[in-house]
Structure 1
Amino acid sequence: MSPTTLNLTFFSFLVITLFSTVSSDDLQILLKLKSSLSNSNPGVLNSWKVNSDHCRFTGVTCDSRGSVTEIDLSGQGLTGNFPIDSVCELKSLQKLSLGFNSFSGSIPIDLKNCTNLKYLDLGNNLFSGTFPDFSDLNQLQYLYLNNSAFSGVFPWKSIRNATGIVVLSVGDNPFDTTPFPYEVVSLKKLYWLYLSNCSITGKIPPAIGDLIELENFEVADSGLTGEIPPEIVKLTKLRQLELYNNNLTGKFPSGFGNLKNLTKLDASTNNLEGDLSELRTLTNLVSLQMFENGFSGEIPPEFGEFKDLMNLSLYTNKLTGPLPQGLGSLADFDFIDASSNLLTGPIPPDMCKNGKMKALLLLQNNLTGTIPENYVNCLSLKRFRVAENSLNGTVPNGLWGLPELEIIDIAMNNFEGSITADIKTAKMLGTLDIKFNKFSDELPEEIGEAKALTKIELNNNRFLGEIPSSIGKLKGLSSLKMQSNGFSGNIPDSIGSCSMLSDLNMAQNSLSGEIPHMLGSLPTLNALNLSDNKLSGRIPESLSSLRLSLLDLSNNKLSGRVPLSLSSYNGSFNGNPGLCSTTIKSFNRCVNSSGSHRDTRIFVLCIVFGSLILLAALVFFLYLKKTEKKERRTLRHESWSIKSFRRMSFTEDDIIDSIKEENLIGRGGCGDVYRVVLGDGKELAVKHIRRSSTDSFTKKNFSSSMPILSEKEGRSKEFETEVQTLSSIRHLNVVKLYCSITSDDSSLLVYEYLPNGSLWDMLHTCKKSNLGWETRYDIALGAGKGLEYLHHGYEKPVIHRDVKSSNILLDEFLKPRIADFGLAKILQANNGGLDSTHVVAGTYGYIAPEYGYSSKVTEKCDVYSFGVVLMELVTGKKPIEAEFGESKDIVDWVSNNLKSKESVMEIVDKKIGEMYKDDAIKILRIAILCTARLPALRPTMRSVVQMIEDAEPCRLMGIVISKESDMKIKEISS
């Protein structure tokens, strides 16, 4: 054998030996990795076996030498800690992809052994702690850390060495607040930059224009200020620009229209102004979102020629002029929302030309003309809302019966004609709101076939004829408003089958016949108005079983006795001369003519016995007066003024005489609370607020530098606020205020009495009850609906500002009522939903973080507090517990226990049965959304209630929470 041949043979032997060694080392490292993940999802790693070729392992890729170059285990449902430091021992590893799993724990500080990494994806996991310095990863090109739960300070300086990065995605992490990092604009090869929701503040630097390869730039949900820099027009390759929910000002820079490759543009919820003319040349737009800004001028007519535009949101601006008539006609148009502007002209006719449109929202404008006929062919349409315009004509027949339609809202226009029988095919229709128009004719019997209806508002139209009995088929109907029409005939008995009905108004019609006794069997009926009709006969005794906040039967032809239990609604029966009553002084007394002699004797006996009882009571009363003379001298000598808000069966003396120690049931920062039992057995709760003290009024757990009120000023303000707020609110889940009684030094508020105390009592005190999950769920849903009404259903939004479990009271059936509005604040219409207060009010543990340091009040403060209440219901814990650690609350504690499914299950209250724990976790997810640190990421109360309804126990439906559903549901009204 020649020397040359010998040398080649020896060299080949060395290479094979080296390759075998490398291959063996990589195999051992992978097997070590498998052992650490054995309790995660072992099925994924079944192919990872000792005597197998490691290059055939699931998710593993090798080079020609057998060295591992890639590990891709993304989306495999893996949990636990991932030993990244061990993986870095794979010397040739270039790609590590672990995204969309549930990995937790921290990342090792030392990443020096991962120097060959070009691709690192840890996004969409549950890691904790800070992300370490990665300066040694100088070959890194792709870095995905988005939505991975890292916190603290992000090592922006590490980017300086990774100049080859083309994708940087670190958004949706609670990093410490930082100005826009200048290190980013040094990455000249960058084409994907995702910085949304990771606490970026300040101005976008002009140097952003140097990133000429950039195709995707997202920095939404941040604290950006200033104007959009002119240099951004250099980014001619840009396809997506997301600036949503910042504090940007000014106009679009000149030349912005040169970004002709843009397909998605979102600058919504900022303070931008000017017109939209710079956007008229962006012909490749697919999605344009500009809502909640200050844009003015006309919508460029060129928008009607965009061939790819699928959705357009321009609501809440100052736009004028017509909508482009060709809008949506050239694309698979999905939705438009241009509500709350000053738009004029007709509705574009062809937005659903391709049959894909889901929502048409043009509320609160000055639109004219008719509804285009061809919308009857839009079978995909779910929401049709054009209320508060000047539209006219008839509604095309087929529109009433579109199969996917969920909302028809055409109120406050000049429509005429009738509702046609086509409505029988509207199987998904939930809301029919056509109030304040000129509709006429009879309601079709087929309306009963639209069985998904929950809300019907037909009031202030010109309808005639009888109310169809098929209304009784609408089992989910909660609100039926038909007042101010020309309906005649009887009220159909079938309405008694609408078991979910809470609000029924048929006032100002020509209805006749008797009031159906079946109305008294409606368990949730809260308001009943049948006034100004031609109803006759007796008032059904069955109405006595209802718990009504509003009853009005005035101006009819009713006769007979007013049921005794309804006497407190005495103003509700005026204009019925045939009625009589033994208690209402303005009515004739009821007599029995056939037995007048016997009645006289009975009357005399009653007088005698009554006198004896009165004498005994007088003696007892004088005894009590003597023992309580000192305590009550002040109250009796004050001059009182009473102001009623509901029907009352008591006087101010009944209340004042009950303010004594033996009736005391609670003391609070706003005053003492007494239980009052009236002579007829009715129970009331009275809050006594004294205004004579001069002691300072402070809130503990806040810095002494916060402004404070004197106790007199504070209580006076709380009293006035609570009266103003509660006096006009009518809702099943908000406590009833009957009246206020005031003097110079004291104030009394008289409420309904809730016998089961507060939710706090039930969960945390010696009165605690073993509440089952179904009851807890009902409390969560009821309280949520009460807050939803305050935020969305009232004339002006009402912010409670002190939502907590002790302010959620429970009636005899454990149904919740929102109470204690002493800190509530009605938002003025002209302040954009944002207000401030000079005093940080609320209760420690429930206060939203932004309120504590900025004193800014929004509805999202209440949402945060309600999220804490949901956590109490799920965990059984108080908002502040010693076990949470120093300066930690229940929100921190829950967040720290989201590392695995087992740890999440562990924090569910042990009193909740195993079969309901998954249901409880659904509510916990909602609570986590509600307590997001950034207010913009919290849902509205309307969305919260919807999610709670979707999480009903035993319903086979989960809650899907995604970035899109959390951030991108951009319609004016859900």
Structure 2
Amino acid sequence: MLLLPTLIAAALLSLQLCPIASSLNQEGLYLLQAKSGLFDTDNSLAGWNPRDNTPCNWTGILCSSSSVNSINLSNLNIAGPFPSDLCKLPNLSFLSLSFNYINSSLPFSSLLPCTSLTHLDLSQNLLVGLLPSSLPSLPLLQYLDLSGNNFSGNIPPSFALFPSLQVLSLTANLLNATIPPFLGNLSSLRQLNLSYNPFSHGRIPSSLANLTNLETLWLAGCGLVGDIPPSLGGLAKLTNLDLSGNFLTGSIPGTLAGLASVIQIELYSNSLNGSLPAGLSNLSALRRIDASMNHLSGSIPDDIFSIPNLENLHLYQNKLIGSVPGTAAGARHLSDLRLFENQLSGPLPDGLGAHSPLMFLDLSNNQISGEIPRGICDGGVLQELLLIDNFFSGTLPPGLGHCRNLNRMRLRNNLFSGDVPAGVWGLPHVFLLELSNNSFSGIISPDISGAGNLSQLLISLNHFTGNIPTEVGSLSKLYEFSASDNRLTGSLPDSLGKLIELEQLDLHNNLLSGELPTVVVQSWSKLTLLNLANNHLTGRILADLGSLPVLNYLDLSGNDFTGEIPPQLQNLKLNQLNLSNNQLSGSIPPMLHNEAYKTSFLGNPALCTDLSGRCQISTSNSSWKRTKSAWLIRVIFILTALILIAGIALFYRKYTKLKKAKKEQEKSSKWTLTSFHKLGFSEYEIMDLLDEDNVIGSGASGKVYRVVLSSGEAVAVKKLWRSSKSNAGSHEEAVDDAFEAEVATLGKIRHKNIVKLWCCCAHKDCKLLVYEYMINGSLGDLLHSKKASVLNWPARYRIAVDAAEGLCYLHHDCLPPIVHRDIKSNNILLDAGLGAKVADFGVAKVVENFDKGPRSMSVIAGSCGYIAPEYAYTLRVNEKSDIYSFGVVILELVTGKLPVDPEFGEKDLVKWVCGTIQQKGEEHVIDTTLDVRCYGEEIAKVLRVGLLCTSSLPINRPSMRRVVKMLHELSGEPKPKPLPKDGMLSPYYIEDEQSIIGSENQQEIMRKIT
């Protein structure tokens, strides 16, 4: 009886649902079938309602005559295999799934039913395997974009058979054959984009000259060798020619003057030689020429500046000679001229910049002489004036003082003289003013108060005179002030105390006088370098200097300071200390009296240099002081003795009990010392110095102390946390595990890029690890602080190489291999020369038999922003997890940004870098403090190594051996000897630049921004 009502209810429900299901037309059902095979991470397709009659109002769907003809699901964060059900739509002509996570391969037959397709965009996904040879069977296809995937192999011969294809883009895949000549058969082609694939070395097919309708030819980073075919000059409709980043040789063919429609020619980063061709002035549409980083010689043709619409000319890092042609002054659209690192000489043409919107002028590292043209900034938009290392002379043009948009002026190492125009001192947007090593004279103008954006004021090695104006104190963003080797006089103004961002102050070799103002020193909380040597400063050395938290360079030598050395200076962690040649007296503070500072106090006759304090100073005044001190010591001694006697009588009973308890404790708390190197200290010396004043770091596992031994050597001591009673069991076990892991790992390692473990000490209540002390702390602390200015690009590159070599040793040279599991910038430590060493092995694991697959861990180890995607949800660990984390460190070095930052929203650094590159280009992720003019190419290549290492698919990440090899190749350093084949990737895999940029997935290789 109960069954009947149930059946009736089910029947009624089916009657209600049938009209809803049947109301959606067949095309809508096809779309729902396609959706069912996809993972919609952000619910972007939640609006696909099966109750609708048609799908024409659904997200990404457009219809014509009630039939679906366009599907655009780009950048919706959807994943899964290619939804072949979409090809059941009979009138589908436009399909875009770009910037998603479409994975697996494209089956041969999956696209065959899409007979109406004219536009297919599957770019920036995770597609793998061979390019589908069936694609040319789509009779109406005009646009095909498969860039930014992982397609491999060759370009199928069938691709010569597209009947009406106009756009073919295969950029940034893994295609590794040569560029086939049969592409020259695609007579309808307007755009051919093959850049950034690891093609085998081959020549540019001359058959491409048959593509008479071609507008864009983009073959950057394709492993091309040989000459540029002269026949390419016949492509009359070509607007964009990009052959950069290859190995092309020979001269630039003069036939390129026949590219009547060309707007942009990019030939940079090749090995082209010979002279620049004449006749380019006939190219009326040409705006941008970049032939930098080649071996071009000869002079710059006069007519190159006669190109009617020329905007950008980049010829830097070549071997060009002669002078800058006079025609440059007549280039009315010229905005960007970069000719640095050539052998140019002679004066600049008068009128350069006077009649053009010149924004960027970089002529550094040449032999150019004469004066700066008076009208250089008449266009009113000049932003960068970079003339370092030349022979410029004369005075600065007064017009520069009105150059309100100027943000960088670098005139170092020239022959300039005379006063600097007052307006130059006060330019409102300049953040770098570098006038060092010239013959400038006059004063620092009070107009400097207007330079509100000034961060670096570098005016050393000149003839500046007068006082430091009080207006310098209004430069709230100033972090480096270097005015050494001038003739500045007067005292330090109190207004310097307003410079709360100041990190480096170098005023040595001047004529400054007076005392150090206390109010100034107290506010310099970010100061790392203070050099006031060789002036006429007087008074006492301020004790407040000892409270500056990050000061590591202090030079007050060659002045007239008097009095004692403040004991507070012992609080500083100084790399350099020099108080020589003053009038100091008294004793040297004990912690400064060691080998590290043995030359820091010379030339102070009244200073006691005997550590015991028994100094032989022969003056009667000194004798009187010594007698007075002796009587004072005797009185103190007598009072102390009386207090001790009273104390002994008062606490005699308690003392007896404590003594007995102490003996019992000593029996049960013996230290166990295990050393891994020859030691010059004991565990008791270490324990005596573990106080809070010496703490230099604190982490999840414990505190780290800086301990200066009696020998003068510093060591770092990690003291593992003690547990609370509530969680004693689990916490003690975790501490023991971390301790044993670190000891077992570091105790057997001997490598220059792995931090050295001197010894370990343990008893039941305390566990200590004693390491070599790395004086510059961690990379993370240095890179993400105001002190990051010391990390120029060569330093960052060297740190990347050092850390990579250390990690490579763990993965490939340890038996069994070791996975660190917590690679991050805070676990890469820096020595005095900024050499890097990998540290903190508390969660490291020895993983045997990597080739049998990854090993699962019970908990996630690592730090937020560094954890590989697959590790976070599978807990499977192998060396690829470390490689991902190391890739994040590379991105930190390139961008200067934290791995996780509120600036990124819900993204981490990897996703932010990839997204920014896709939208704006790779130049927008590079740290703006780096010198991209000199190192731009190398920075970009290291960035691509980082993107390879952070590939979301572990199989696409190179081994650490491969990473080390790529990093060495970037700088032209000697290549390591060939290594045995390891893992999925061979060290022989692609020898040159394409090895860096040819093996990436999804959205992690940038699109070309044109």
TM-score, normalisation: structure 2: 0.64
Report Cα offsets for 1:247-306 as digits up to 9, x if no partner. Answer: 222222453433343221111111111111256455232110011111111011101211
The alpha carbon displacement at 1:556 in A equals 1.3
For the residue of structure 1 that corresponds to 2:85, the secondary structure is: helix
Over 3 Å counting, the alpha-carbon distance change for 1:38 and 1:486 in structure 2 is closer
Over 3 Å counting, the alpha-carbon distance change for 1:387 and 1:112 in structure 2 is closer
Q: Which amino acid in structure 2 is aligned with residue 433 of structure 1? A: E
Question: What corresponds to 1:251 in structure 2?
Answer: 251
For the residue of structure 1 that corresponds to 2:909, the secondary structure is: helix
Structure 2 residue runs without a partner (length 5+): 1-21, 594-600, 609-620, 642-665, 691-703, 718-745, 757-770, 808-819, 845-860, 889-897, 933-938, 940-1001
Conserved 8 A contact 1:871-1:927: no
- Within 5 Å, give how 1:185-204 maps onto structure 2: 185-203=184-202, 204=204
- Within 5 Å, give how 1:15-26 maps onto structure 2: 25-26=26-27
- Within 5 Å, give how 1:481-492 maps onto structure 2: 481-492=482-493
- Within 5 Å, give how 1:775-790 maps onto structure 2: 781-782=784-785, 785=788, 788-789=791-792
Question: What corresponds to 1:333 in structure 2?
Answer: 334
Once residues 678 and 125 of structure 1 are traced to their aligned partners in structure 2, the CA distance between those partners, rounded to angstroms, is 54
Q: 908, 921, 935: which is aligned to 2:907?
A: 921
The alpha carbon displacement at 1:560 in A equals 1.3
The alpha carbon displacement at 1:534 in A equals 1.0
- Within 5 Å, give how 1:329-478 maps onto structure 2: 329-350=330-351, 352-353=353-354, 356-423=357-424, 426-478=427-479
Q: Which amino acid in structure 2 is aligned with residue 558 of structure 1? A: F
Q: Which amino acid in structure 1 is aligned with residue 453 of structure 2? A: A
Question: What corresponds to 2:168 in structure 1?
Answer: 168
Is 1:550 the counterpart of 2:556 in the alignment? no
Report Cα offsets for 1:462-497 as digits up to 9, x if no partner. Answer: 111110111112222111100011111111122122
Question: What corresponds to 1:137 in structure 2?
Answer: 137
Q: 556, 573, 579: which is aligned to 2:579?
A: 573
For the residue of structure 1 that corresponds to 2:320, the secondary structure is: strand
- Within 5 Å, give how 1:521-540 maps onto structure 2: 521-540=523-542
Once residues 600 and 896 of structure 1 are traced to their aligned partners in structure 2, the CA distance between those partners, rounded to angstroms, is 64
- Within 5 Å, give how 1:698-777 maps onto structure 2: 751-752=774-775
Report Cα offsets for 1:659-700 as digits up to 9, x if no partner. Answer: 9998999xxxxxxxx98844789982179xxxxxxxxxxxxx
Question: What corresponds to 2:300 in structure 1?
Answer: 299
- Within 5 Å, give how 1:730-879 maps onto structure 2: 751-752=774-775, 781-782=784-785, 785=788, 788-789=791-792, 791=794, 801-802=804-805, 818-819=829-830, 872-876=863-867
Q: 876, 880, 884: which is aligned to 1:889?
A: 880
Over 3 Å counting, the alpha-carbon distance change for 1:77 and 1:717 in structure 2 is closer
Once residues 879 and 681 of structure 1 are traced to their aligned partners in structure 2, the CA distance between those partners, rounded to angstroms, is 48
The alpha carbon displacement at 1:147 in A equals 4.1
Conserved 8 A contact 1:343-1:365: yes
Over 3 Å counting, the alpha-carbon distance change for 1:496 and 1:404 in structure 2 is same
Q: Which amino acid in structure 2 is aligned with residue 185 of structure 1? A: G
Once residues 242 and 711 of structure 2 are traced to their aligned partners in structure 1, the CA distance between those partners, rounded to angstroms, is 62
The alpha carbon displacement at 1:602 in A equals 3.3
The alpha carbon displacement at 1:141 in A equals 3.9
The alpha carbon displacement at 1:342 in A equals 0.7
Conserved 8 A contact 2:368-2:391: yes
Question: What corresponds to 2:15 in structure 1?
Answer: none
Report Cα offsets for 1:741-782 as digits up to 9, x if no partner. Answer: xxxxxxx9765496xxx79xxxxxxxxxxxxxxxx8x67624
Once residues 588 and 320 of structure 2 are traced to their aligned partners in structure 1, the CA distance between those partners, rounded to angstroms, is 62
Once residues 830 and 277 of structure 2 are traced to their aligned partners in structure 1, the CA distance between those partners, rounded to angstroms, is 50
Once residues 60 and 774 of structure 2 are traced to their aligned partners in structure 1, the CA distance between those partners, rounded to angstroms, is 67
Conserved 8 A contact 1:355-1:380: no
Question: What corresponds to 2:86 in structure 1?
Answer: 87
Conserved 8 A contact 2:474-2:499: yes
Aligned residue-pair number: 768
Report Cα offsets for 1:857-905 as digits up to 9, x if no partner. Answer: xxxxxxxxxxxxx9944155699889375867238879999xxxxxxxx
Once residues 634 and 159 of structure 2 are traced to their aligned partners in structure 1, the CA distance between those partners, rounded to angstroms, is 99
The alpha carbon displacement at 1:821 in A equals 9.0
Report Cα offsets for 1:701-745 as digits up to 9, x if no partner. Answer: xxxxxxxxxx9xx969879x99xxxxxxxxxxxxxxxxxxxxxxx
For the residue of structure 1 that corresponds to 2:791, the secondary structure is: helix
Q: Which amino acid in structure 2 is aligned with residue 71 of structure 1? A: S
Q: Which has the larger displacement, 154-163 or 503-512?
A: 154-163
The alpha carbon displacement at 1:205 in A equals 2.4
Conserved 8 A contact 1:487-1:509: yes
For the residue of structure 1 that corresponds to 2:196, the secondary structure is: coil
Once residues 332 and 878 of structure 1 are traced to their aligned partners in structure 2, the CA distance between those partners, rounded to angstroms, is 49
The alpha carbon displacement at 1:52 in A equals 6.2
The alpha carbon displacement at 1:373 in A equals 1.8
Query: Aligned Cα RMSD in Å?
Result: 5.6
Once residues 374 and 945 of structure 1 are traced to their aligned partners in structure 2, the CA distance between those partners, rounded to angstroms, is 27
Once residues 891 and 930 of structure 1 are traced to their aligned partners in structure 2, the CA distance between those partners, rounded to angstroms, is 24
Over 3 Å counting, the alpha-carbon distance change for 1:147 and 1:936 in structure 2 is same
The alpha carbon displacement at 1:234 in A equals 3.8
Once residues 84 and 634 of structure 1 are traced to their aligned partners in structure 2, the CA distance between those partners, rounded to angstroms, is 62
Once residues 533 and 567 of structure 2 are traced to their aligned partners in structure 1, the CA distance between those partners, rounded to angstroms, is 20
The alpha carbon displacement at 1:187 in A equals 1.9
Q: Which amino acid in structure 2 is aligned with residue 226 of structure 1? A: G
Once residues 478 and 530 of structure 1 are traced to their aligned partners in structure 2, the CA distance between those partners, rounded to angstroms, is 16
Conserved 8 A contact 2:533-2:555: yes
Conserved 8 A contact 1:190-1:213: yes
Once residues 718 and 41 of structure 1 are traced to their aligned partners in structure 2, the CA distance between those partners, rounded to angstroms, is 47
Over 3 Å counting, the alpha-carbon distance change for 1:112 and 1:968 in structure 2 is closer
The alpha carbon displacement at 1:438 in A equals 1.5
Once residues 679 and 923 of structure 1 are traced to their aligned partners in structure 2, the CA distance between those partners, rounded to angstroms, is 41
- Within 5 Å, give how 1:620-769 maps onto structure 2: 677-678=707-708, 684-685=714-715, 751-752=774-775
Once residues 253 and 835 of structure 2 are traced to their aligned partners in structure 1, the CA distance between those partners, rounded to angstroms, is 42
- Within 5 Å, give how 1:135-284 maps onto structure 2: 135=135, 137-153=137-153, 156-172=156-172, 174-203=173-202, 204-253=204-253, 255-277=255-277, 280-281=280-281, 283-284=283-284
Question: What corresponds to 2:661 in structure 1?
Answer: none
Greater relative contact order: 1 or 2 (C-alpha under 8 angstroms, separation 6 or more)?
Answer: 2
Q: Which amino acid in structure 2 is aligned with residue 365 of structure 1? A: N
Once residues 114 and 675 of structure 2 are traced to their aligned partners in structure 1, the CA distance between those partners, rounded to angstroms, is 83
The alpha carbon displacement at 1:242 in A equals 0.5
Q: Which amino acid in structure 2 is aligned with residue 336 of structure 1? A: L
Q: Which amino acid in structure 1 is aligned with residue 408 of structure 2? A: I
Over 3 Å counting, the alpha-carbon distance change for 1:936 and 1:452 in structure 2 is closer
Once residues 589 and 425 of structure 1 are traced to their aligned partners in structure 2, the CA distance between those partners, rounded to angstroms, is 45
Q: Which has the larger displacement, 101-110 or 360-369?
A: 101-110
Question: What corresponds to 1:564 in structure 2?
Answer: 567
Over 3 Å counting, the alpha-carbon distance change for 1:534 and 1:251 in structure 2 is same
Conserved 8 A contact 2:467-2:490: yes
Once residues 235 and 356 of structure 1 are traced to their aligned partners in structure 2, the CA distance between those partners, rounded to angstroms, is 31
Q: Which amino acid in structure 1 is aligned with residue 630 of structure 2? A: T
For the residue of structure 1 that corresponds to 2:496, the secondary structure is: helix
Once residues 385 and 442 of structure 2 are traced to their aligned partners in structure 1, the CA distance between those partners, rounded to angstroms, is 23
Over 3 Å counting, the alpha-carbon distance change for 1:521 and 1:312 in structure 2 is same
For the residue of structure 1 that corresponds to 2:581, the secondary structure is: coil
Question: What corresponds to 1:730 in structure 2?
Answer: none
Over 3 Å counting, the alpha-carbon distance change for 1:179 and 1:447 in structure 2 is same
For the residue of structure 2 that corresponds to 1:298, the secondary structure is: coil
For the residue of structure 2 that corresponds to 1:925, the secondary structure is: helix
